[in-house]
Amino acid sequence: MATLLEVVDLATYYATPGATIRAVDGVSFTLAEGEVLGIVGESGCGKSTLGRTVLRLVEPTGGSIRFLGEDITKLDRRAMVRRRRNMQVVFQDPFGSLNPRHRVGEIVVEPLEVHGIGDARSRAARVSELLVLVGLPPDAAGRYPHEFSGGQRQRIAIARALVLEPKLLIADEPVSALDVSIQSQIINLLAELRVRLGLAMLFISHDLSVIRHVSDRIAVMYLGRIVEIASTAEIFDRPTHPYTQALLSAVPHTDPARRRERILLSGEMPDPAKPPSGCAFHTRCRHAMPRCSNERPALAQRPIEGGSREVACYLY
């Protein structure tokens, strides 16, 4: 598959009084057309900032973002707006991301108007098509967001994101606010749309079970950096970074066969304004060596037993 997105050494810093927060600090990855890359990590790891930076909803501090071969960090505002026709986003909160004063039809048609696509009739037809595609009743267009449940509102947000037929969808915790029984409906919908539309996705979530279900590959983030990236099967069958191992072991399961020996980490994620020296995880790592507190391990292909893995750890 051709490369759709290539992110190289991307950095996003936030200046706060007295400190610079390195929310994203040197992240590199590629995403092929039609591929789903899961970005997983705990609060403050920078996964949401990463998603927003790729869309330039937040401006990068450094690095490059090549989308379809073009470095979009160099584009001016108007060119960037045109580019976003191919890059869309769905957020966690289906309550906050829909304008309560607009009817669903107006919400879904807006991207077509912004990009000057079609006339009133073809737009209306396209909106109906999208509402059916995401599983909403045909009369939804004339109703307001508050008339819908959380799951249905997320369907509206997905319809709006897909109306322009983007090649890339950034899904930032799209099912986290939903109940279990509704989650599965939205996960199924995204999986189905992905196949039907050949959509590539950056699927950002803290929920490892959801990430595992939807992703082809997974990148694990800790304090602004990717610590390990590999295929979904590789990550779950054989996590190599000590943080990945601890993260997977912490997930409670209903099926006793799925439980891993729990690795309890001490403390919590350090303040991103004051990241530890060397490997940012060394303060909580049970394998930390003297070198880990002085030098930062690069994310690189490293030999592991029976193969290699892209991991940022001196154990390998």
Partner 1 sequence: MAEAPLLAVESLSVAMGVTPVLEDVSFRIAPGETLGLVGESGCGKSVTALSIMRLLPNPPGRIIGGRILFDGTDMLSLDIGALRAIRGDRIGMIFQEPMTSLNPVYTIGDQIGESLIFHRGMNGRTARSETAKLLDLVGIPAARNQLDRYPHELSGGQRQRVMIAIALACRPRLLIADEPTTALDVTVQAQILDLIGRLRHELGMAVLLITHDLGVVAEFCDRVAVMYAGRIVEEAPAAQLFKQPRHRYTEALLHTMPAANPPGRKLPSISGTVPAPADRGEGCIFAPRCGFAIPRCANELPPLTEPPHRLRCWNPA
The binding site for partner 1 (CB under 8 A) comprises 42-43, 149, 151, 179-185, 187-188, 191-192, 206, 208-210, 212-214, 232-233, 246-247, 249-256, 258-259, 262, 264-265, 268-269
Nearest to residue 224, comparing CAs of 37, 63, 74?
63
With respect to partner 1, which residue has the nearer C-beta, 72 or 134? 134
With respect to partner 1, which residue has the nearer C-beta, 119 or 181? 181
Q: How far is the CB of 202 from partner 1 (least distance, A)?
A: 17
Q: How far is the CB of 148 from partner 1 (least distance, A)?
A: 10
With respect to partner 1, which residue has the nearer C-beta, 2 or 180? 180
* H runs (alpha helix) in the chain: 47-54, 77-83, 104-114, 120-133, 150-162, 180-197, 208-214, 232-237, 242-250
Strand partners, 228: 220, 311
With respect to partner 1, which residue has the nearer C-beta, 7 or 269? 269
Q: How far is the CB of 9 from partner 1 (least distance, A)?
A: 27
With respect to partner 1, which residue has the nearer C-beta, 67 or 222? 222
Q: How far is the CB of 239 from partner 1 (least distance, A)?
A: 13
Number of H helices, E strands in the chain: 9, 12
Structural contact between residues 168 and 85, judged by C-beta atoms closer than 8 angstroms: no
With respect to partner 1, which residue has the nearer C-beta, 42 or 110? 42
Decide: helix, strand or coil at residue 204: strand
Q: How far is the CB of 248 from partner 1 (least distance, A)?
A: 9
With respect to partner 1, which residue has the nearer C-beta, 87 or 246? 246
| Rounded distance between C-alpha atoms, residue 125 and residue 90, angstroms | 22
Sign of CA dihedral 186, 187, 190, 192: negative
Q: How far is the CB of 120 from partner 1 (least distance, A)?
A: 34
Structural contact between residues 278 and 295, judged by C-beta atoms closer than 8 angstroms: yes
DSSP character at residue 182: H
| Rounded distance between C-alpha atoms, residue 179 and residue 150, angstroms | 9
Q: How far is the CB of 1 from partner 1 (least distance, A)?
A: 17
* H runs (alpha helix) in 58-177: 77-83, 104-114, 120-133, 150-162
